């Protein structure tokens, strides 16, 4: 067996992040593989309905559900996701946290951006003073 450089594979039970469509930004699970271009995804706990989805509009995450049978219906997918705490794992990951921070920054208004700039200036000033004190 050779040591593969790929760590994430298209497989039943792989948690995916949707890149486009009305559910973009949500996660789902691959329930069945249709062919080399599409899979059936299902996200009963995240509000993504069961549907066929092309791989080019999916991003594979490192999270995988181990005991999901092929072609499992929404009820079974929901039970397995709840049992393994998959949604909580995703929300606790650095990837999800960065996406939330990006979305928060994207939705800021001018005044909020101004306040962030002032806080950065205050922090920079404190760091500068502590570095100067440490050198002295």
Give me the tens of pLDDT residue by residue for the chain, a chain 136 residues long: 567 788 889 999 999 999 999 999 999 999 999 999 999 999 999 999 999 999 999 999 999 998 889 988 999 999 999 999 999 999 999 999 999 999 999 999 999 999 999 999 999 999 999 999 999 8
- Look up the CATH number of the domain holding residue 48: 2.30.30.30
Q: Establish if 87 belongs to a structural domain.
A: yes
From the list 80, 39, 51, 79, the residue with the least C-alpha distance to 63 is 80
User: CB atoms < 10 A from the CB of 83, how many?
Assistant: 10
- What token pair was written down for 45? 């706990």
**Total number of domains constituting the chain:** 1
36 lies in a domain?
yes
In a domain, 8, yes or no: no
Sheet holding 14-18, edge to edge: 48-54, 38-43, 27-33, 14-18, 58-64
Question: In the numeric block, which tokens belong to residue 17?
Answer: 């992040």
Give the pair of three-digit tokens for residue 42: 């299902």
Could you tell me if 14 and 53 are in contact, meaning their C-beta atoms sit under 8 angstroms apart?
A: no
Residue 129 DSSP label = H
Please state whether beta strands 27-33 and 38-43 pair in parallel, antiparallel, or not at all (unpaired). Answer: antiparallel
Residue-number span of the structural domain to which 84 is assigned:
14-92
Q: Is 28 exposed, middle or buried (0-12, 13-18, 19+ CB in 10 A)?
A: buried
The answer to whether residue 69 is domain-embedded is yes
> Whole-structure pTM over 0.85, yes or no?
no
């Amino acid at each position: 067996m050779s040591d593969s450089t790929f760590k994430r594979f298209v497989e039943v039970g792989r948690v995916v992040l949707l890149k486009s469509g009305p559910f973009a930004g949500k996660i789902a699970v691959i329930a069945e593989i249709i062919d080399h271009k599409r899979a059936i995804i299902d996200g009963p706990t995240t509000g993504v309905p069961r549907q066929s989805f092309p791989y080019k509009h999916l991003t594979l995450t490192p999270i995988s559900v181990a005991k999901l049978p092929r072609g499992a219906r929404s009820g079974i997918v929901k039970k397995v996701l709840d049992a393994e705490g998959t949604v909580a794992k995703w929300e606790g990951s650095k990837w999800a946290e960065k996406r939330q921070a990006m979305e928060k920054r994207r939705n800021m208004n001018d005044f909020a951006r101004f306040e962030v700039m002032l806080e950065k200036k205050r922090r920079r000033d404190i760091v500068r003073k502590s570095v100067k004190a440490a050198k002295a």
